[in-house]
Structure 1
Amino acid sequence: MPIEIKMPALSPTMEEGTLAKWLVKEGDEVKSGDIMAEIETDKATMEFEAVDEGRIAKIMVAEGTDGVKVGAVIALLEGEGEESAPPPAAKEEEEEAPAPADHGKPADAAVAREEKPAAPAPAPAPAPAATPAPAAARHDGDRVKASPLARRMAADKGVDLSGVSGSGPNGRIVKADVEKAQPGAAAPAASAAAPAEAPAAAPKPAQVPDIPHETTKLSNMRKTIARRLTESKQQVPHIYLTVDVQLDKLLKLRAELNAGLEARGVKLSVNDLLIKALAVSLVQVPKCNVMFTPDQLVSFHRADISVAVSTPEGLITPVITEADSASLSSISTRMKDLAARARDKKLKPEEFTGGTASLSNMGMFGIKQFEAVINPPQGMILAIGAGDKRPWVMPDGTLGVASIMSATGSFDHRAIDGADGAQLMQAFKTLVESPLSMLA
């Protein structure tokens, strides 16, 4: 019996993906560990390895197909000595022809027997009612009756099958019905018998104005960003705390360290030092190094910092693990490598998942201050603004000019109280203004 090869979940947040490229074809022999396909997840393009060995009997999903659900069958693999059964789609074509209105009863009855469950529950006593509408016959409980080919075509075209009238036997939706339907076809209005607490309909897409424009298909990454950040703002009560931080001593230390590291080919960025400062702050204020779950509060014993990296398709947050105890040169080297591979969509899942808190720096764009959205299930994210020259009261009380940066912490108020968040921001400010202490 052929082995079903299913769409894998290649990241913790992956619900669907794009089968970007097949690296095998029907008839090819594969062994465990062979690379079979390239799959675009919500975060990266990853290689998919064979687990079993055998011959590719049938490729069920063509390369370039978007929106392939995790767990969907994408290919069939024959073991040694097996013969493949005719693929489901082959028989399907024979069923696809719509029956004429005066089609004989025997053929309809045969299809009806095929659709019926093996052991139907006893029917309740019939109640007097009007003759049902013709399309009602294609529903079996909450399932729309449609051929497998029609379902695949509907998924590819973005057609809602609940809004399509079936012309096949017993109202079954067939290929011809999907071909006639328009993408995004709306479902018919709910009947009076629908439950009173039916879920609210999804908001209608905005009407595009009649202005010259172009459209870009949403990538899996952009869809995931939209979903997760919407959930964050809807479900996580954010509290925002801002401090102004003097940078002069940190900038001086960075210059001295870079002079010493030049022979090793390492050049520290300001961001590298801020990653270190946040990590040390979280260890000093452990009440902010937490994760909220519905029934418990998880407190972490080390600080792994997720760092926002901009890519052409959206933000991704590779993780600097053990940033509180790592050297600055290690943080800098790892950060450059992770950022480069993030932009090339070559990160491994373990390199962008986890993290106990996040840091997002928009100072390079001249943004003075902003409030970042928390990346669940983390408890906080630090937003870094640009450093610039501002009037500043010096330690001796005189007025001078200093390099000042605004930093804003966004905290999950379910897990972190305002006073604890303020304590973290104060610890961060102290470390940046006295940077040698973070190296001790």
Structure 2
Amino acid sequence: MPTNILMPALSPTMEKGNLAKWLVKEGDAVKSGDVLAEIETDKATMEVEAVDEGTVGKIVVPEGTADVPVNELIAILLEEGEDKSALDGAPKAKAAPAPAKADGPKDEPGEEPKAEKPAPRPSEAKRDAAPKPEGKPSANGHDKGERVFASPLARRLAKEAGIELNAISGSGPHGRIVKADVDAARASGGAKTAAPAAAPAGASDEALRKLFPEGSFEEIPHDGMRKTIARRMTEARQTVPQFYVTADCVIDDLLSLREQVNAAAPEKDGKPAWKVSVNDIVVKALGVALARVPAANVTWTEGAMLRHKHADVGVAVALPNNGLITPIIRAVESKTLSAIALEMKDLAARARDRKLKPEEYQGGTTAVSNLGMYGVKDFTAVINPPHSTILAVGGGEKRPVVKGSDIKIATVMSLTLTCDHRAVDGALGATLIAEIKKLIEKPISMLA
């Protein structure tokens, strides 16, 4: 009996996936454990393995198909001894996906329905019967202020194009303005147009395109990751009450410790076995600080507060062609700086190749986002639920600081902690960043 191969759920929250590539073709013999296809989720590219032996009888969903629902049939595997006749009644293979096209106004099929001028309401009849104010009629016969009859499609297209309807002559029944009239006015450029205005929030894609000269931009379709980032960050801003606390940290001792730790690294294949970065030390400081201030190592739920036993810290990694992901280093408070550096190097490399497993980027109790390498002095980061905090790290720079009664030059780095006010109150957030500052400025205490 043929075996159905379904779109797998590669994470607890996955609802759809993109079938990026088939690694087998119809007629290929496979055995259990063979890789059949690559599936793209919003965060990673993962491989689908065969669970039975057999022959690929039919590929139902072609590679390159986007948004395939979980548990949808994607291929059929024939058992030993079965032939193509066993596929009778099986679903037909779907057509290969067409290249994505830019969204735009869709033409209505055929001509617009001819409609008679609606009968006037009593109030309109009285108004129409009253003498109209004298004035010079417009070129199309519409007096200024006179009601203009137009189809809903024509009204929408005219609004998007910034064309005033009373400047157009209608060719429809009883002078009704139809789509062809708007198209003609737009093509001729002779219709009186309104000045372009900023598109309101929630405006259609076509209305937004009209704000920019044609040919002045390139359209890049959103991928699954960009859509997910947009959705989650919008939800975070709208649903999580966030506040910010900032501290400036003198990091000369941190830089000295980093130099000593890296100098002590043994060699492996002629290279140092590890290379600890400033960010690795910040990650360690955040983990230790949460262990010392456990009331801030929490997740908000409507029914209860979840206080975590370990500090699992997500680290934002920028991906090629835009997008980011936050692989998680578990139990940071108990790991050495060298262990954090090695784990972060491995996670970042696999993140950029979209090879992370769901458990390596889902969950976590907090996160670090570092833009210091881009020359950013300070910034605020958006919380990624279910986290209750995120630490934004700026670049270290030489600044004058007061030490005792003297002004000296020191290397200073600005940290900004974003807190979910439902879970971390102002005083608690201040306590946490004060502990982080203490650890950053005296990093040797993290090693005790």
Tell me the TM-score range normalised by the shorter chain: 0.7 to 0.9
Checking the alignment, whether the CA contact within 8 Å between 1:243 and 1:406 is kept in structure 2 is: yes
Distance in structure 1 (CA, Å) of the matches to 2:328 and 2:227: 21
Deviation at 1:87, TM superposition (A): 3.2
Judged with a 3 Å threshold, the aligned counterparts in structure 2 of structure 1 residues 45 and 164 are, in CA distance, closer, same or farther, namely farther
Q: Residue 424 of structure 1 is aligned with which of 432, 435, 438? A: 432
Return the match for 1:207 from 209, 215, 234. 209
**Does residue 21 of structure 1 match 2:24?**
no
Question: Is 1:365 the counterpart of 2:374 in the alignment?
Answer: yes
CA contact (8 A) 2:65 2:97 kept: no
- Give the Cα–Cα distance (whole angstroms) in 1 for the partners of residues 280 and 102 of structure 2: 45
**Could you say which residue in structure 2 is the equivalent of 1:352?**
361
- Shift of the alpha carbon at 1:71? 2.3
Structure 1 residue 326 corresponds to structure 2 residue 318:
no
User: 2:127 is matched with which residue?
Assistant: none
Moved over 6 A (4+): 152-159
| Pairing 1:138-177 to 2, within 5 Å after superposition | none
Aligned to 1:31: 31
| CA distance 1:54–1:355, change in 2 (3 Å) | same
- Matched residues, percent identical? 54
Aligned residue among 314, 318, 334 for 2:323: 314
2-structure distance, mates of 1:156, 1:404: 48
**Selected match of 1:270 from 260, 271, 278:** 278
Within 2, Cα distance between the matches of 1:164 and 1:40?
Answer: 35
> How far does the alpha carbon of each residue in 1:344-397 deviate from its partner, in whole angstroms, 9 at most, with x for none?
222222222221110000001111111101111111100001111112111x23
Deviations 1:177-202 (A, max 9, x none): xxxxxxxxxxxxxxxxxxxxxxxx97
| Candidates 250, 256, 273, aligned match of 1:246 | 250
Structure 2 CA distance, aligned partners of 1:45 and 1:374? 25
Q: How does 1:205-244 map to 2 (within 5 A)?
A: 205=205, 206-207=208-209, 209=212, 210-244=214-248
Q: 1:366 to 1:154 in 2, by over 3 A?
A: closer
- Whether 2:91 is the aligned partner of 1:88: answer yes
Residue type of the alignment partner of 1:428: I
Instruction: Name the SS for the 2:424 alignment partner.
Output: coil
Alignment CA distance shift 1:72-1:389 (3 Å) = same
Deviation at 1:29, TM superposition (A): 2.8
CA distance in 2, matches of 1:363, 1:156: 37
Residue in 1 that maps onto 2:49: 49
Q: Quick one: which amino acid aligns to residue 389 of structure 2?
A: M
Shift of 1:158: 10
- In structure 1, the gaps of 5 or more residues are 91-148, 166-200
State whether structure 2 residue 299 is matched by structure 1 residue 291. Answer: yes
3-state SS, counterpart of residue 75 of structure 1: strand
Partner of 2:422: 414
Instruction: Give the superposition deviation at 1:337.
Output: 1.4
Shift of 1:37: 0.3
Q: 1:376 corresponds to which letter in structure 2?
A: P
d(CA) in 2 for partners of 1:351 and 1:26? 34
Gap change, CA 1:153 and 1:390, over 3 Å in 2: closer
- Aligned twin of 1:377: 386
1:337 maps to 346
Q: Distance in 2 between matches of 1:157 and 1:400?
A: 60
Q: Deviations 1:377-435 (Å, cap 9, x if unpaired)?
A: 111100001111112111x2322221111101111111111111111000000011111
For residues 62-93 of structure 1, the C-alpha deviation after alignment (integer angstroms, 9 at most, x for no partner) is 11112222222211223345512233338xxx
TM-score for the superposition, normalised by structure 1: 0.73
Distance apart, 1:28 and its partner CA: 2.4
Deviation at 1:244, TM superposition (A): 0.9
Separation of aligned partners in 2, 1:259 and 1:366: 26
Q: Structure 1 residues 66, 12: closer, same or farther in 2, change over 3 A?
A: same
Moved more, 42-51 or 73-82: 73-82
Distance 2:253 2:394 in 1: 17
5 Å-filtered alignment, 1:64-83, equals 64-82=64-82, 83=86
Cα RMSD after superposing both structures: 2.9
After alignment, is 80-89 or 226-235 more displaced? 80-89
Q: Which residue of 1 aligns with 2:121?
A: none
Query: 2:363 touches 2:386 (CA, 8 Å); kept in 1?
Result: no
Query: 1:45·1:346 contact (CA, 8 Å) conserved in 2?
Result: yes
What amino acid sits opposite 1:427 in the alignment? E
**For residues 27 and 317 of structure 1, do their structure 2 counterparts lie closer, same or farther at Cα, with a shift above 3 Å needed?**
same
In structure 2, the CA distance between the partners of 1:13 and 1:207, relative to structure 1 (3 Å rule), is farther
Deviations 1:257-287 (A, max 9, x none): 2222254532211111111000000111111
Task: Check whether the contact 2:59–2:74 (CA below 8 A) recurs between aligned residues.
Answer: yes
Alignment map for 1:67-146 (pairs within 5 Å): 67-82=67-82, 83-89=86-92
Aligned residues: 346
**In structure 1, C-alpha distance between the alignment counterparts of 2:100 and 2:319, rounded to whole Å:** 27
Q: What is the CA-CA distance between 1:309 and the residue it aligns to?
A: 0.6
SS at match of 2:398: strand
Distance 2:2 2:279 in 1: 53
The one-letter amino acid paired with 1:249 is D
Cα distance in 1 for partners of 2:80, 2:217 equals 54
TM-score by length of 2: 0.71
Q: What code does the residue aligned with 1:259 have?
A: A
Counting only pairs closer than 5 Å after superposition, residues 5-20 of structure 1 correspond to structure 2 as: 5-20=5-20
Larger Rg: 2
Structure 2: any 5+ residue segments left out of the alignment? 110-200
CA distance in 2, matches of 1:334, 1:321: 10
**Contact persistence 1:19–1:68 (CA under 8 A):** yes
Distance 1:13 1:221 in 2: 14
Sort the Cα spacing of 1:88 and 1:203 in 2 relative to 1 into closer, same or farther, 3 A.
farther
| Counterpart residue identity of residue 248, structure 1 | D
